[in-house]
A and B are shown apart, each in its own frame.
Chain A
Amino acid sequence: MAFEGLAQRLQGTLQKIKGKGKISEADVKEMMREVRFALIEADVNLKVVKEFVKTVSERAVGQDVMKSLTPGQQVVKIVKDELTNLMGGEQNPIQFARKSPTVIMMVGLQGAGKTTTTGKLATVLRKRHNKKPLLVAADVYRPAAIQQLETLGKQLTMPVFSLGTDVSPVEIARQAIAEAEKEHHDVVIIDTAGRLHVDENLMQELKDIRELSKPDEVFLVVDAMTGQDAVNVAKSFDEAIGITGVVLTKLDGDTRGGAALSIRSVTQKPIKFVGMGEKMDALEPFHPERMASRILGMGDVMSLIEKAQENVDEEKAKELEQKFRTQTFTLDDFLDQLQQVKKMGPLDEILKMMPGMNKIKGLENAQVDESQMGRVEAVIRSMTIAERTTPEIINANRRKRIAKGSGTSIQEVNRLLKQFEDMKKMVKQMTNMQQKGKKKMKMPGFDSLFR
């Protein structure tokens, strides 16, 4: 049931225009039908889709079918470029006030993730901008909302300002800002209660808070899974209180996130951050191009590469490369490699980021067996140092001992040793190739983990 990517959707249509020199209007029309469906399935608002398709059609008609690209790729490229453009070119940093404190207001529907995002944003401000934020618990309606923020504050060792549930949110905001001035906090983040955009009383309350606190930023927090209604929500909030930016949450799910495009095109306000997980450091800057790929179901290669870069230890990689060259790669190094891969996060998430992976039949629900990695680790750890460096000495008796020691079976030990041998052979071939100036080989054994 996973959604098809746009490229795949276009397959059928493309067969027909293969070999043509130019893309005709009729071809474009047919392809745009598929583009339209792909975008609607990604939850982009219908009106936004229509406008978008119109722009893209105009660009696509009459294009030369370039030699390097197939016409289909070209259309996909135009679609993707246009999508990226629409979602806003340059990165948008947070606007800080000239005179402290900077006031940031968090608004949105119930359950969008305002409180969690407040915690994450505070973490970013402290870590990257060297700020000293004060969190303000202004959600007096939802049961235990204040406790939630207070708990987060404790986890992050960050002060939380609250006056209980009997004081009006406007008053809470007023006193919080006074407190921040007194205690020299340079940022105040006001966590407001979730509310429906059609609830006039509660929207008025937000207007009042805005009026009083004169915020430098008003962030609309939106669930990335939101459907067609995203435009109504974004428009209402923007018209009522004037938002300055958007935070898209729960993007670590498998939604295509078309809401991002809808919101952007109705409000023209930048998407500033995306929430990528439940941990407090899981708030990332927004990348229009990646979002475009995602909406089109094309995989997120950039994030994958970045993740790898962030987590792979350069020194170790160099050392390893040396070992490859001299072919002194041991089981210990293999273990190191496993650790490096593991640091990149759950393997199935990494897999999902690879383009094409979501299209392989049967793989959409495949779970990479991480316990398998644990077992491999256990086997290696049950070996002596001598065995790890020269696996050739592992005889039947040793195998038995290793199996017992690691709680696995002799078969599993055999399989690992076989895999290791195969890998060494492969590495040997690769390094030979490398001598001739080929690209560096990284992470051997990666593929042997996926069976």
Chain B
Amino acid sequence: MTFFKKLKEKITGTNETVTEKFKDGLSKTRNSFTSKVNDLVARFREVDEEFFEELEELLLQADVGVETVMELVDQLRWEVQRKNIKNTEGIQSVISEKLVEIYKAGEELDTELNMQDDLTVILMVGVNGVGKTTTIGKLAARLKEEGKTVMLAAGDTFRAGAIDQLVVWGDRVGVEVIRQSEGSDPAAVMYDAIRAAKSRKVDVLICDTAGRLQNKVNLMNELEKVHRVIGKEIEGAPHEVLLALDATTGQNALIQAQTFKEATNVTGIVLTKLDGTAKGGIVLAIRNKLKIPVKFVGLGEGMDDLQPFDPEKYVYGLFAEGLEKEAE
């Protein structure tokens, strides 16, 4: 309870609307994780083995993955024993506390983008259909709102219509898009774009890339080359490499994160499509194993539906209903 109070104070004190957005995005879920936890708590008076087993299943159904779930539940068992918790009242706060703790892994979390004094280059990568281009549009709108000048590079020269899609977003947000024709070398597009960004003195250049499955060696090599070309033009660039990850993805997301990290040194994850019924629990496993933090979440199709990720809010979103009941 105290945890929730602190959490709520912290959140409501800072930014009411963002929290509402989180809640809205997550509450579209009918059979949500939250209500299931509530069911669970209501059904079980005592915290016993059966309770833990059901909890395990809840987490598995949120795509957290076998290993991380086992780890988490073991820690919970220990915690419950230590605190001598006998009944399920108040177990919710222990669960969410633990989830946040696992996510943080003892580190101070930084979801801020690594912004430079002059040009900041952000590279967007990911498999097909996860929402890279849409995320770029939303991110550009966000950065522009913050007063930055933004330029986009249409690096997906492969998929039919991908360049047009980015150009539409460019028009919507009101930022320039550097493009070449379909089928041209993406590395060359990046080279052009960096030149243009330098000469126009923009603050941020966001580079789109074609979606690729992580087991396609040639395509991953191409991505490595794109990364290299950017680094050659500006030392230390790209300053951020964001991996777009679809929240509906299952255990394969872990392999995605690992492979893309090897190729392009991913600095953060954008968890997209979190407004559906999927929970994207795999980010817990990714964080746990690969230490890649989630930086943003996509909560809808509007221009302002990209929000910075905050593990406390994420968990708050999952447990919001329970919290309100407790508060009454």
Shortest beta-carbon distance, B50 to chain A, in Å? 15
A40–B65 CA distance with the chains assembled, in angstroms = 8
A197–B278 CA distance with the chains assembled, in angstroms = 11
The answer to whether B273 touches A110 (Cβ under 8 A) is: yes
Shortest beta-carbon distance, A429 to chain B, in Å? 34
Tell yes or no: A317 within 8 A of B by CB.
Answer: no
Please, what's the 1-or-0 string for A34-51, where 1 marks a CB less than 8 Å from any CB in chain B? 000100111101100000
- Among A119-170, those with CB < 8 Å from B are 141-152, 155
The answer to whether B214 touches A145 (Cβ under 8 A) is: no
Shortest beta-carbon distance, A263 to chain B, in Å? 13
A112–B273 CA distance with the chains assembled, in angstroms = 12
The answer to whether A46 touches B217 (Cβ under 8 A) is: no
- Among B183-233, those with CB < 8 Å from A are 213-218
The answer to whether A225 touches B252 (Cβ under 8 A) is: yes
The answer to whether B62 touches A228 (Cβ under 8 A) is: yes
**Residues of chain A contacted by B288 (CB below 8 angstroms):** none
Please, what's the 1-or-0 string for B112-135, where 1 marks a CB less than 8 Å from any CB in chain A? 000000000000000111110000
Closest to B130 in A: A111
The answer to whether A110 touches B159 (Cβ under 8 A) is: no
Contact of B160 among A109, A113, A148 (CB under 8 A): A148
Max count, chain A CB within 10 A of own CB: residue among B128, B249, B250, B301: B250
The answer to whether A223 touches B65 (Cβ under 8 A) is: no
Closest to A148 in B: B161
Tell yes or no: B282 within 8 A of A by CB.
Answer: yes
**Residues of chain B contacted by A227 (CB below 8 angstroms):** 63, 248-251, 253, 278, 282
The answer to whether A223 touches B248 (Cβ under 8 A) is: yes
Tell yes or no: B19 within 8 A of A by CB.
Answer: no
Please, what's the 1-or-0 string for A13-54, where 1 marks a CB less than 8 Å from any CB in chain B? 000000000000000000000000100111101100000000
The answer to whether residues A229 and B128 also contact, given A144-B168, A145-B161 and a CB cut-off of 8 A, is no
Max count, chain B CB within 10 A of own CB: residue among A226, A258, A259: A226
Tell yes or no: B83 within 8 A of A by CB.
Answer: no
The answer to whether A41 touches B213 (Cβ under 8 A) is: no
**Residues of chain A contacted by B275 (CB below 8 angstroms):** 196
A143–B194 CA distance with the chains assembled, in angstroms = 25
The answer to whether B160 touches A151 (Cβ under 8 A) is: yes
Contact of B250 among A2, A141, A226 (CB under 8 A): A226
Main secondary structure, interface of A, reads loop
The answer to whether A255 touches B250 (Cβ under 8 A) is: yes
Tell yes or no: B29 within 8 A of A by CB.
Answer: yes
The answer to whether residues A112 and B129 also contact, given A41-B251, A43-B252, A254-B214 and a CB cut-off of 8 A, is yes
- Count residues on chain A whose CB falls below 8 Å from chain B CBs: 55
**Residues of chain B contacted by A144 (CB below 8 angstroms):** 161-162, 164-165, 167-168
Tell yes or no: B61 within 8 A of A by CB.
Answer: yes
The answer to whether residues A346 and B251 also contact, given A40-B66, A227-B278 and a CB cut-off of 8 A, is no
Tell yes or no: B312 within 8 A of A by CB.
Answer: no
**Residues of chain B contacted by A151 (CB below 8 angstroms):** 160-161, 182
**Residues of chain B contacted by A256 (CB below 8 angstroms):** 251-252
The answer to whether B215 touches A147 (Cβ under 8 A) is: no
Shortest beta-carbon distance, B129 to chain A, in Å? 3
The answer to whether B131 touches A3 (Cβ under 8 A) is: no
Closest to A232 in B: B277
The answer to whether residues A46 and B57 also contact, given A113-B129, A143-B165, A155-B160 and a CB cut-off of 8 A, is yes
Tell yes or no: A401 within 8 A of B by CB.
Answer: no
Closest to B56 in A: A46
Tell yes or no: B60 within 8 A of A by CB.
Answer: yes
A348–B131 CA distance with the chains assembled, in angstroms = 28
A42–B63 CA distance with the chains assembled, in angstroms = 11
Closest to B300 in A: A196
Tell yes or no: B10 within 8 A of A by CB.
Answer: no
A40–B57 CA distance with the chains assembled, in angstroms = 10
Q: Which A-B residue pairs are the 6 nearest by beta carbons?
A: A227-B250, A148-B161, A111-B129, A43-B250, A143-B168, A151-B160
Chain A residues proximal to chain B, CB less than 8 Å: 1-3, 37, 40-43, 45-46, 109-113, 115, 141-152, 155, 196-198, 223, 225-230, 232-233, 250, 252-256, 258-259, 278, 346, 348-349, 352, 367
